[in-house]
Amino acid sequence: MQEPEYNVPRPFVRHFDATVCNLFPDVDKKSFKILDVAAGTGLLGLELNKLGYQNIDALDMSQEMLNRAKNKKVYTKLICTAITDQRMNGIETAEYDALTCSSAVCAGQVQPGAFAKMLNFVKPGGLLCFNISFLEEKNYDGKFKELEEAGQWRLLKKERIPFLLEKQLEECYLYIYEGQRKVPS
Ligand SMILES: C[S@@+](CC[C@H](N)C(=O)[O-])C[C@H]1O[C@@H](n2cnc3c(N)ncnc32)[C@H](O)[C@@H]1O
């Protein structure tokens, strides 16, 4: 029997693109600036590019992964660093129109404390789009609510999308948040 394929990027990007086009009907996808956090080998960037996005930077803590992402020829800049709750060099406040993060919001990877920092990278009203497994969600829920109650972001979309877990085809949640509308300090 054929093994199921890793299948998050396509539905992830489809929802992301629908939200972008809905919120910004006159969007110029060629210049719409995206930071793909935990980009890995660049599969998400590749799907974004197929839909016309051409201004995408990749961030990953593994240089080896970034080397593979570079081969996809869809990223402008490759940033080798770990996203944590600490201040980071190399990224300007409010530099991006949107931030994407596929299949890395989980224990040992992108932690709850990193979300406040990631919010700083997007412009006022910019988007944060990521997926999370049903099991992991409870570990992040408190932080998501805290940021919402503090007016730092607003939930635009929460959808179930397919997700491959230990070779089993499952589902996960895809979240799309809109960052606060004032410039982050
Ligand atoms: C499961 S892969 C997902 C890759 C890609 N987003 C995709 O969907 O194909 C997870 C990636 O996240 C990176 N990663 C994990 N935690 C990270 C962190 N805190 N900061 C930056 N990169 C991280 C790993 O190096 C790895 O390349």
Find tokens 């190399």 and name the residue.
Answer: 90
Task: Give the length of the chain.
Answer: 185
The 10s digit of each residue's pLDDT in 71-117 is 999 999 999 999 988 877 778 889 999 999 999 999 999 999 999 99
pTM greater than 0.85 (yes/no)? yes
Whether the CB of 82 sits within 6 Å of ligand 1: yes
Whether the CB of 48 sits within 6 Å of ligand 1: no
34: which strand partners? 56, 98
Tell me: pLDDT of 155 over 90.
yes
DSSP 77-110: -EEE----SS--SSS-TT-EEEEEE-S--STTSS
The CATH fold assigned to 12-179 is: Rossmann fold (3.40.50)
The 10s digit of each residue's pLDDT in 18-57 is 999 999 999 999 999 999 999 999 999 999 999 999 999 9
Q: Return the best residue to mutate from 110, 161, 166 for the ligand 1 pocket (most ligand atoms within 8 A of CB).
A: 110
Residue 141: the pLDDT is 97
Helix, strand, coil percentages for the chain (3-state, nearest 5): 30, 30, 40
Q: Are 70 and 78 in contact (CB under 8 A)?
A: yes
Whether the CB of 133 sits within 6 Å of ligand 1: no
- 183 — pLDDT class (breaks 50, 70, 90): low
Q: Where are the domains of the chain?
A: 12-179
